[in-house]
Amino acid sequence: MAPAVDHDCVLVAVVEDQQRQLDAMRSLAERQQRELDQLKKALIGPKSERAKAKKMLSPEKALGAPTSNPEVAQARRRERAAEKRQLPSVTVNHPVPDDQRSCPKCGNDALEPLGEGRVTEVFEYVAKVIRVRHVQETLRCRCNGHVVTAPGAPKVVEQGHYGASFIAHLVVAKCVDHQPLYRLEKGFARLGVPMRRSTMNELFHRAATVTAPLSKRLLELIAARHVVQADETRIRVLDDGTGKAKNGFMWTFVAADERAGIDIGYRFALDRRDVTPKEVLGGTRGYLLVDGYSGYNAVVDVDGRARAACHAHLRRYFHEALTTEPRAQEGIDLILDLYRVEHEARDLGVVGTDSHSGLRKTKAAPARDRLKAWLDDNLERHPPKSPIGIGIRYGLKQWESLGRFLEDVRVPLDNNASERALRRVALGRKNYLFVGDATAGANVAGLYALAATCEARDINPLEYFTDVIGRVGDHPASRLDELLPGPWAAAQV
């Protein structure tokens, strides 16, 4: 006789199995929706992650809202107008035509000038390459036993015919304006200057070789700073040393100096291993502000830098989860409370001072406690691999590192400075697509560092490279720091 079947147990098992399948399908759908949103954002979507703040920082503006102060805008317009008045000026006189040089009422043809005349200013663009002839005086003695020749034009490239300003233009065009050499070739052709890409490529890398001591020294100074921010991104390499193409990585290291200036360094590597951050920061002390990538563990776990985590990374997880879980907005709002404290310190003009530290302890610390309570409360409510679940677990895993800003007022809330530094690499990658090999990657990294630091310090990179490329070869090694962007700009005042 067949045993009795417990239909209720069978039904419960079927329901549980169907529930598991439904949960798996829901998790898959959420993951696919997240990937779709990321693809749409990368291709056609807005890049901004700015949320609509429910609370206002002040009665006039929310976090991240553009400033609309009429007095500030008017001051900026006057400043720009004053700068335009300093441009080189060319006067073009427009005489009255002969058939209009008589009075139609009385017939007098001896009209007198009425003041300077009506003046209209028009700004024109004049781009040209000029050929400069350097004539070196040569003297000889009557006895024909002695001949002396005056020093000539400084040459960046031996037996070369291109001056420092021309080479500086190539560097700025590629490292600041992200123009590939084939576009520069077409631009020179429009000016009537035939230039081969191979020649420009040789000049570009020669500039990197000449300025390599400066970019190396810049990275050393950054590594010695108390707070360093770091990040990395891929860049394609055509030849990895074995004749194969692969993804290399451009690492950036950012730090502020004692004069409140920003220095930006880059290091190219053929891989993403922890060798690069260890070579740059090994043996240094202070804080390292990075994302959760384990490649930095060799620095923070071994060599003594304390790891500080990025609130912008945490916020990004919740921003990406908004399409599948509206509750993620709660996490964004709680992180926003931390940034309100930073905005308040900035508005009060106390950034980096003891007052700033006091604001963080009295206002940011309670806000951080509220964020921790929210993360703990929502931990079990969401699957670990759901978009919001990933963000919650990231925040809890990085919780100690996220709190470093309360220990030292010099530690920022986020790592956005290094992410902004990597935009340069991303724009270049989109335009010139790749670097040829490891040497070319190292050269680009060195020139990127000097160009990025110039822009971070409001220094004209064209003026900087024009001057430095022509001087660095003969400059005393003991005074190399004088040619770094910060000291160089200070010496121009």
Predicted confidence (pLDDT) per residue in 140-169, tens digit: 888 888 888 888 877 776 667 888 999 999
Give me the residues paired with residue 235 across strands: 248
Residue 47 pLDDT exceeds 60: no
Check residue 44 and give its pLDDT: 65
Average pLDDT in the chain:
87
Region for residue 289 given its phi and psi (left: phi exceeds 0; alpha: psi -120 to 50; beta: otherwise): beta
Structure tokens at 210: 């000449």
Q: Is 450 helix (H, G, I), strand (E, B) or coil?
A: helix
Check residue 60 and give its pLDDT: 38
DSSP 369-428: HHHHHHHHHHGGGS-TTSHHHHHHHHHHHTHHHHGGGGT-TTS-S--HHHHHHHHHHHHH
- Of residues 186 and 153, the one with the higher pLDDT is 186
Check residue 357 and give its pLDDT: 94
**DSSP alpha helices (H): ranges in 322-363?**
328-348, 354-359
3-state percent breakdown (helix, strand, coil) of the chain, nearest 5: 55, 10, 35
pLDDT, mean of residues 59-81: 67
Q: Is 293 helix (H, G, I), strand (E, B) or coil?
A: coil
Check residue 123 and give its pLDDT: 79
Please choose, from the candidates 42, 44, 61, 41, the residue with its C-alpha nearest in 3D space to the C-alpha of residue 53.
61
Residue 8 pLDDT exceeds 90: no
Cα 450 from chain centroid? 12
Contact assessment for residue 398 and residue 368, using Cβ atoms and an 8 Å cutoff = no
| pTM score, whole prediction | 0.83
Q: Is 87 helix (H, G, I), strand (E, B) or coil?
A: coil
pLDDT, mean of residues 203-211: 95
pLDDT, mean of residues 79-90: 84
How many percent of the chain have pLDDT more than 90? 56
Helix (H) or strand (E) holding 262: strand 262-269
Q: Which residues of 310-325 are buried (b: 16+ CB within 10 A; e: fewer)?
A: bbbbbbbbbbbbbebb
Write phi, then psi, for 310 (nearest 5 degrees). Answer: -105, 120
Residue 303 pLDDT exceeds 80: no
Contact assessment for residue 210 and residue 473, using Cβ atoms and an 8 Å cutoff = yes
Q: Amino acid identity, residue 103?
A: C
Check residue 274 and give its pLDDT: 92
Q: Tell me the per-residue pLDDT of 90-111, one tens digit each, with 9 for 90 and over.
A: 888 888 888 888 888 888 888 8
Q: Tell me the per-residue pLDDT of 29-46, one tens digit each, with 9 for 90 and over.
A: 777 777 777 777 666 666
Residue 68 pLDDT exceeds 80: no
Q: State the pLDDT confidence band at 170, using cuts at 50, 70 and 90.
A: very high
Check residue 218 and give its pLDDT: 97
Residue 320 pLDDT exceeds 50: yes
Between the alpha carbon of residue 156 and those of residues 22, 184, 456, the distances in Å are 69, 20, 26
Cα 4 from chain centroid? 73
Residue 139 pLDDT exceeds 50: yes
Residue 386 pLDDT exceeds 90: no
Check residue 50 and give its pLDDT: 58
Structure tokens at 142: 């009557």
Structure tokens at 121: 């200013």
Check residue 416 and give its pLDDT: 94
Q: State the pLDDT confidence band at 470, using cuts at 50, 70 and 90.
A: confident
pLDDT, mean of residues 305-333: 92
Residue with tokens 């384990």: 294
Check residue 43 and give its pLDDT: 67
Check residue 249 and give its pLDDT: 96
Q: Which residues of 276-294 are buried (b: 16+ CB within 10 A; e: fewer)?
A: bbbebbbebebbbbbbeee
- Map out the domains of the chain as residue ranges: 311-414
pLDDT, mean of residues 388-410: 94
408 vs 357: CA distance, rounded Å = 8
pLDDT, mean of residues 340-355: 93
Check residue 9 and give its pLDDT: 67
Region for residue 389 given its phi and psi (left: phi exceeds 0; alpha: psi -120 to 50; beta: otherwise): alpha
Give me the residues paired with residue 236 across strands: 247, 434
Contact assessment for residue 185 and residue 200, using Cβ atoms and an 8 Å cutoff = yes
Residue 121 pLDDT exceeds 90: no
Residue 301 pLDDT exceeds 70: no
